[in-house]
Amino acid sequence: MLEARELRLSISGKTILDGVSARFQAGEISVVTGPNGSGKSRFMHSLAGLETPDSGEVLLDSQPYPGRDQRLGTGVGLVFQQPELQVIEQTVEQDILFGLRNIGLDPDRRQEILEESILWSGLESHRHQDPGTLSGGELRRLALASVLAMGPRYILLDEPFENLDYPGVAETLHQIIKIRDRGCGVIIVTHGLEKCLAHADRLLLMKSGRIIADALPERVLPFLEDHDVRRPGMKIRDMSWLRS
């Protein structure tokens, strides 16, 4: 289980997180939404260990995360809203290998994970390509593959459908479902509920640095517009950009 307990964070006197608590289970897809400025991205950064709250704690399997001897990304991985910001190497395969070198895997194991990641992401024909020449959907798949190669049990995705066309959204959604099917917990921050809510186990609504609703999507959906979040004009079972 991944758990946030009473996370509080202020920046320049402004409250960003105001006592945020939540629990996430492996093998589930959770969707987090809310108006701009509600604290969603800072919450994700805190869960991933990239932001240190003023108070509160993040626990992974009842232990503080990240632990003293635990590398960032090995328990909880985060894919940024702009994946190009975390793709740093000159080729697709070198970018996947970057994190594996940092966690000290031996060369044979690194190569094994690289081949698995290339195959999983469908980037076999791009392995020697400059990431800057990839399409938006391909770049997001590379970012996902690089994060997954580190072996996290939870994957956090900040606006994963941003600026993607229909094929790019469908590709990304396929990857998300494959991650869930591997037993990972998936947490998606998005305004694009119509693209993915059909696959969600729960919907969390944030506002003013707090989680004000956390329940089955059908229970939260009727209240979205009361809190400045656009409610898609369709039934939950139709909120997917995957073809039936």
3-state secondary structure 126-182: HCCCCHHHCCHHHHHHHHHHHHHCCCCCEEEEECCCCCCCHHHHHHHHHHHHHHHHC
String of b and e for 201-234 (b: at least 16 CB within 10 Å)?
bbbbbbbebbbebbeebeebbeebeebebeeeee
| Nearest CA among 83, 103, 72 for reference residue 143 | 83
User: Do 118 and 127 meet the contact criterion of CB atoms below 8 Å apart?
Assistant: yes
Model pLDDT, residue 172: 87
Number of H helices, E strands in the chain: 7, 10
Collapsing DSSP to helix, strand or coil, 223 comes out as helix
**Where does residue 89 rank: exposed (0-12), middle (13-18), buried (19+ CB within 10 A)?**
middle
User: Hey, what are 148's tokens?
Assistant: 């997954």
Collapsing DSSP to helix, strand or coil, 60 comes out as strand
User: Hey, what are 5's tokens?
Assistant: 């307990």
Model pLDDT, residue 70: 67
What do you get for the CA distance between the two ends of the chain, in Å?
Answer: 32
Each of the 244 residues of the chain gets a pLDDT tens digit; together they read 999 999 999 999 999 999 999 999 999 999 999 999 999 999 999 999 999 999 999 999 999 998 776 677 789 999 998 888 888 899 999 999 998 888 878 889 999 999 999 998 889 999 999 999 998 888 888 999 999 999 899 999 999 998 888 888 888 898 899 899 999 999 999 999 999 999 999 999 999 999 999 999 999 999 999 999 999 988 998 888 886 5
What is the rounded CA–CA span in Å between residue 69 and residue 139? Answer: 31
- Alpha carbon distances (Å) from 139 to 89, 161, 170, 196: 12, 12, 14, 19
| Nearest CA among 175, 181, 215 for reference residue 196 | 175
User: Hey, what are 99's tokens?
Assistant: 């994190």
User: Do 27 and 155 meet the contact criterion of CB atoms below 8 Å apart?
Assistant: no
* Alpha helix segments (H runs only) across 48-105: 92-102
